[in-house]
Amino acid sequence: MAAGVFGQIDVHTVTINSPSTGVSFTHTVPHGAEISRFSGSPAPLDGYPESSINKPADCNSLKDVHISARLLEDFLDLAIENTKNSLETCGVLGACLEERNIYVTNLIVPKQESTPNSCQALNEEEIFAIQSQQSLVPIGWIHTHPSQSCFMSSVDLHTQYSYQVMVPEAVGIVLAPNDESRKYGVFRLSDPVGMSILKECKEKGFHSHAQPADGSSIYENCSNVYMNPNLRLEVCDLR
Asked if residue 122 is part of any domain, the answer here is yes
Interaxial angle between packed helices 154-164 and 193-200, expressed in degrees from 0 to 180 and rounded to the nearest 10: 110
Band of pLDDT at residue 54, cut at 50, 70 and 90 = very low
Q: What range does the domain containing 217 cover?
A: 62-235
Is the Cβ–Cβ distance between 66 and 104 less than 8 Å? yes
CATH at residue 83: 3.40.140.10
Domains in the chain, number: 1
What lies within 8 Å, CB to CB, of 58 at 6+ separation is: none
Read off the pLDDT band of 60 (50, 70, 90). Answer: low
pLDDT the model gives residue 211:
84
Confidence (pLDDT) at 75: 98
Backbone angles phi, psi at 93, to 5 degrees: -100, 130
| For residues 206-221, average pLDDT | 87
**Buried residues in 204-217 as b, exposed as e (16+ CB within 10 A):** eeeeebebeeeeeb
* Residue 28: burial class (beta carbons within 10 Å; 0-12, 13-18, 19+): exposed
